[in-house]
Amino acid sequence: MPLFDIQISPDEPVYVISVVSRLVDLPVWTLRQLDKKGVVHPKRIGKKSRLYSLKDVRKLEYVHFLMEDKGVNISGIKIILEKEAGG
């Protein structure tokens, strides 16, 4: 069986919310809240579906660390990410 070396841009939205939930160990409900509060901006497909990029997943890993290890709430996370982005 041949191996395929598929190159996917880190900005390409390819991960559905259920997969991201497992990858970053955050409940789907929390991911929806993070989207609603503007912490992450998954691409919308239709009215309901969200697709996340690898960059989104990496950001959410950091968000998980801030929430679980540091006890930061969503509002605090948004402020931290804005400051780190230079905004």
- Structural domain contains residue 4: no
pLDDT in tens, 32-79: 999 999 999 999 998 889 999 999 999 999 999 999 999 999 999 999
* Number of structural domains the chain divides into: 1
- Structural domain contains residue 8: no
The answer to whether the predicted template modeling score (pTM) of the entire model surpasses 0.85 is: yes
Angle at 56 between CA 26 and CA 32, to 5 degrees: 45
Rounded Cα–Cα distance for residues 10 and 58 (Å): 10
For residue 80, give the CATH number of its domain: 1.10.1660.10
* CA dist list (Å): 56 to 4, 62, 71: 24, 10, 21
Per-residue confidence at 17, pLDDT binned at 50, 70, 90?
very high
DSSP letter string over 63-86?
HHHHHHTT---HHHHHHHHHHHTT
Return the pLDDT at 51: 98
